[in-house]
Structure 1
Amino acid sequence: MDVRQLRHFLAVAEVLHFGRAAGRLGMTQPPLSQSIRALEAELGAALFERTKRSVALTPFGAQFLPHVAATLADLDRLGETARQILSGTSGRLELSFVSTADYSILPALVHRFRQLYPEVELALSEATSDMQIAALREGHGQAGLIIPAATDPLPESFLYRRLVSEPLVAAVPEAWLTSGRLPTDHGLLPPEAVISSPLIVFPRRAAPSFYDLVTGYYAACGGTAHVVQQAIQMQTIISLVSAGMGIALVPASLKHLARSGVRYLDLLGDVPELETGLVWRRDDSSATLRNFLEMTRALDLPAAPA
C-alpha cells in the first residue's frame, strides 16, 4: 500500500460516496474505485460494503479507519516537525551538571529554557566534571555545567563559556558554634578557625579545580587541610557536616540547601571564588544546543544568597 491509496480510502470513508470522494480528490470515479480495490486486495479484506444505493464501511474498515487517519495526520505534520527541529523549537537537549550547579545556575537555566522552548525534551543528568568531559568526548550528551580545571585545559575539540563565579562560605556544625568550639569574629569565620577544623571536601579526581581552590585557601592562610572525609555529592557533604564530622567550604549558593544542625558562615579576609561554566563539543551544530547557548548569553543569572 502507499500513501495515495490511504488518502483515497480516507476520502471515501468520510463521505461514504465514491463520486463525491472522487470530486474532493480531483479525480474521476473509476481510478478511485480501482485504487480502493487494489488496497483491499493487498490487505486481504474488504473495506467497504457496496450496493447500487449505498456505501458502508465493513467492520474491518471501521476499525482500520482511525489508524489510517492518525497515520496520515502524522505524515501531514512531518513538514512542520522538520522545520521545528531545524529551528530548535522541537527536538531534544541533553544537559549534564555538577551538583553545585543545582543550587545556583541550573534552576534559572532550566526555567528560562522551558519558557522559551516548551516543545524541546530536556534531558538532565548529574555528574562530576571529569565524568561529564569524558562522556562528551565519547559523543554522549550535548553540553555540561562544570567546574573548570585551571591546570588541565579542555581539549581543542571543546568550547567553554564562563557563566558564574561565587565566593566560598563555610558550612559548619551548629553545635560547634553553640558550644564555643568554633570561634567567630562578628559572625564571620576567621582563617585560624578554618585551618584548625577537620575538612570534608570533594575528591580531587572529581573536581580538581574545586579541591585546589579549597586546599589553596588553607595554604594561603598558613595551614594545611586536614581532610577527614571525601564525598562527590553536595548533599552528602552537608549531611556529614550536620553529623559533626567536620566543616566544608562550599559555594555561597549552597545556602539554599537548608539542613538541620548546619550553619553557613561567610569567611573573614580574602575569600576564594568558584567558577562554573558551560562546556560543549565544537562540532555540535544541533539547533537545540545553539538556542541554549544563545539563551545563556542573554540570561541574567541569579546572585548567590547573602
Structure 2
Amino acid sequence: MDTRQLRHFVAVADTLHFGRAAERLTMTQPPLSQSIMALERTLGAPLFVRTKRSVRLTAFGEQWLPQVRAALAAVDALPESARRLRDGLSGRLSLSFVSTADYSVLPDLVRRYAEAYPDVEIGLVEATSDVQIPALLAGERNAGIIIPPPDRALPEPLAYRRLVSEPLVAAVPTAWIDDGRLIVRDGVLAPDALAGAPLILFPRTVAPAFHDLVTGYFARRRRPARIGQEAIQMQTIISLVSAGLGVALVPASLRNLARAGVRYVELTAPPTLETGLAWRRDDDTPTLRALLRLL
C-alpha cells in the first residue's frame, strides 16, 4: 500500500466512476482498475460494489474513506510542516531560568518570542544556575537564563551572552526603618546601616556567583556578612524579609515584587549583578536559533 493507491481510491470514491476518476488522475482506466484491485487484495476486503451501470462504496469502504482522506491530508502537509520546523516557526523551545530573571528579562523575552513565533511550544523550567548548567551540557534544555560564574567561565561547549546588568538594592523590613533601626537618607541606605544585621541569602552551593557578590560587598566594607537565613527562591527570601527575620541584597528589578512589610532601598556603591543566556554551541535546534536571532 502506498499513497498513490490511496489517491486512486479517493478519486474513485469521489466520482463513483472509474473513467472520470482516471481523467482526474491523468491516467487510463485499466491501470486505475488494477491499482484498486491490488489495494483491495492488500486489505482483504472489497472497497467498491461494481456493476455494469454503477459503482458504489461498500460499507467497509465508506468507513475507511475518512481515515484515508485524513492520512493524505497529513502527507500533503508534511512539506510545509518540515519548512516551519526547519525555520523555527514551529516545534518546541525548552528554556530554564533563575528566579531573579522572573522579575527582569524573562517576561519581556518570552512575550517577544511568543509574538514572533506563536506556534512554538515554550517549555519553562525555573532552576538555579548550578542545576541549569549540567542540564544544558546534557542536552536536556535548549537554553538557560543564568547568573554566570566569575569571568563567565562556562564549560565547553556552552556559549554565553549577557542580557542585563543591574545594581543590587537592599530589601529591608519596613518596620526597621520606621523604628529607626535602619537609617535611610535621600532614599539611600547609610553605608554602615546593614552592619550586624542578619542577612537572608542564597546558599553558596546553589548560587556561588550571587552569594560571593553579596558577601563581597560586606567584605569590602570590613563588615563580614552575618547570614541569618538561607533560601533558594527569591520569593521566599522576600517573604522572610517581610517577616522581619533579616535583610537581603537583591537585584533592582525585584522592586517589581511588591510585598507588604518590605521596602527596597538603594545602596551606597552597590555591586552589579549580571544575568545572561547560556546554550550549547553545537545545538542546532531551529527554535533555539530563532531565539538567538531575536536576541
- Do the structures match in fold with TM over 0.5? yes
Distance, in Å, in 1 between the alignment partners of 2:95 and 2:69 is 36
* Structure 1 equivalent of residue 277 of structure 2: 278
Residue 173 of structure 1 aligns to which amino acid in structure 2? P
* Structure 2 equivalent of residue 36 of structure 1: 36
TM-score, with structure 1 as normaliser: 0.92
* Structure 2 equivalent of residue 193 of structure 1: 193
Distance, in Å, in 2 between the alignment partners of 1:228 and 1:57 is 80
SS in 2 for 1:227: strand
* Structure 2 equivalent of residue 27 of structure 1: 27
Residue 169 of structure 1 aligns to which amino acid in structure 2? V
Residue 286 of structure 2 aligns to which amino acid in structure 1? A
SS in 1 for 2:194: helix
Q: How does 1:1-306 map to 2 (within 5 A)?
A: 1-150=1-150, 153-267=153-267, 269-296=268-295
Distance, in Å, in 2 between the alignment partners of 1:13 and 1:119 is 35
The structural deviation recorded for 1:179 is 2.5
- 1:284-305 CA-partner distances (Å, limit 9, x unpaired): 1222212211211xxxxxxxxx
- 1:150-199 CA-partner distances (Å, limit 9, x unpaired): 06721131111111000111111122222322222223222312223111
Distance, in Å, in 2 between the alignment partners of 1:133 and 1:161 is 14
Structure 1's unaligned 5+ residue stretches are: 297-306
Distance, in Å, in 2 between the alignment partners of 1:286 and 1:159 is 15
Distance, in Å, in 2 between the alignment partners of 1:30 and 1:212 is 82
SS in 2 for 1:289: helix
Contact 1:195 1:221 in 2 (8 A): no
What is the identity percentage for the equivalent residue pairs of Structure 1 and Structure 2?
64
The structural deviation recorded for 1:132 is 0.7
SS in 2 for 1:195: coil
Contact 1:214 1:249 in 2 (8 A): yes
- 1:6-56 CA-partner distances (Å, limit 9, x unpaired): 111111122222111111111111221221122122222222222322222
Distance, in Å, in 2 between the alignment partners of 1:236 and 1:89 is 37
Distance, in Å, in 1 between the alignment partners of 2:82 and 2:126 is 30
Distance, in Å, in 1 between the alignment partners of 2:164 and 2:17 is 67
Distance, in Å, in 2 between the alignment partners of 1:97 and 1:11 is 53
Distance, in Å, in 2 between the alignment partners of 1:165 and 1:41 is 70
- 1:206-256 CA-partner distances (Å, limit 9, x unpaired): 111111110011112221111111111111111111111111111011111
Residue 158 of structure 1 aligns to which amino acid in structure 2? L
- 1:89-122 CA-partner distances (Å, limit 9, x unpaired): 2222111111111110011111111111112222
Contact 1:103 1:256 in 2 (8 A): yes
Distance, in Å, in 1 between the alignment partners of 2:146 and 2:80 is 35
SS in 2 for 1:27: coil
Residue 63 of structure 1 aligns to which amino acid in structure 2? Q
- 1:254-275 CA-partner distances (Å, limit 9, x unpaired): 11111122111111x2111100
Structure 1 segments of 4+ aligned residues over 3 angstroms from their partners? none
Distance, in Å, in 2 between the alignment partners of 1:71 and 1:249 is 59
Distance, in Å, in 2 between the alignment partners of 1:20 and 1:152 is 70
Structure 2's unaligned 5+ residue stretches are: none
Contact 1:149 1:207 in 2 (8 A): no
TM-score, with structure 2 as normaliser: 0.95
Distance, in Å, in 1 between the alignment partners of 2:135 and 2:291 is 19
- State the aligned residue count: 295
